[in-house]
Amino acid sequence: MRINADTENIDKLSTKEMVKIFNNEDKKVANVVEGCLESVAAAVDLMVSTVQKGGRVLYIGSGTSGKLAVIDASECPPTFGVDDNMIIGVISGGVEAVAGWKEETEDDCELAAKDLKSRNLSSCDVIVGVSASGNTPYVLSGLEYASHIGCSTIGISCSSTGMLNRTADICIVSDVGSEVIEGSTRLKAGTAQKMILNMLSSCTMVKLGKTYGNLMANVKPINLKLKRRAIDIIMYAAGCKEEAALEAFERAEGNAKAAILMLINDIGAK
C-alpha cells in the first residue's frame, strides 16, 4: 500500500483546495507517460505489422482498465473507417461489465481463455493486456493463453513490480505513484492508460494510412455531426468552398478521402 502524503487530509479541505490537489496530481501523469514512449512506439510498430499481415489487435482488461480498452477499440471504426474486427475490446464480465460493474470476474483465470477463444484468437493476432496493477489474474491468464498459441503480446501497466512486466513481449509501464484516494486506479492510473491507448490506436491508424495528414478523412458520416465534420475536412484539405465539397462528397458516396483526391486531382469517382 502506497499512501499519498499530499492527500492524507483531503477530507478536511475546502472544495477548491480539494479539486486543486486532484489537478496537481493529474499534471504528473503526462511526464510519467513520456518516460515510456520508447515502449509505446515499439508496441505501435508491432500492431501495424500485425494488421498489415491480416491479423487483429485484441485489448483485454477488467474493471476500469477493461472499460478504457473497450472504449478505445469501439471508437476506431467510426473515427478511422476501419472494420469492426480490426481492433477488438474484451472485458471480463462482457457487456454487463461495460454498462455496470462485474469486478469479481477479474479473478476468473479460465474466463480469459474462454473469451479469447470465442473471438477466434489466432497466432496471427496481437493481444494487449491492460492492468493498472499488472497483476490482474484475468489479464495475465489471457496473455499466457495468447502466448501459448503463438500470439505476440503487449502489456499496459502502472506498476513497475507487476507480473505483466514479465509476461508480455512488450510492456508499457507508467508508474504514476500513489493515487489521490489510495487504491482508486480509475484516477491517475486510468488517465495514464487512456493516454497510452490513445497513442497506440491513433498512431497505428496513421501509419496504416487511415488519415490524410492529421485529418480523420476516413471518418464514417453516420450522423449529422460527422457528416458536417467530413465536409469541413474536404473543404480544408482541397481548399474548396462548401458547395464543391458537398458535390464531391456525394459523388464519392460519402468517402471523404476519395472526395479530397477527386478535387485535388480534378478527377471523377471510380
75 is catalytic: yes
CB 131 within 8 A of CB 139: yes
Look-up of cell digits 480539494:
18
Q: Which three cell numbers stand for residue 141?
A: 491468464
Residue from 22, 99, 64 nearest 185 by CA: 64
CA atoms within 13 A on the CB side of 233: 27
* From 25, 38, 75, 104, the catalytic residue: 75
Q: Classify each residue of 147-174 as buried b or exposed e, where b means 16 or more C-beta atoms within 10 Å of its C-beta.
A: eeeebbbbbbbbbeebbbeebbbbbbbb
Residue from 254, 210, 258, 185 nearest 87 by CA: 210
104 is catalytic: no
* From 8, 38, 106, 182, the catalytic residue: 106
Active site residues: 75, 106
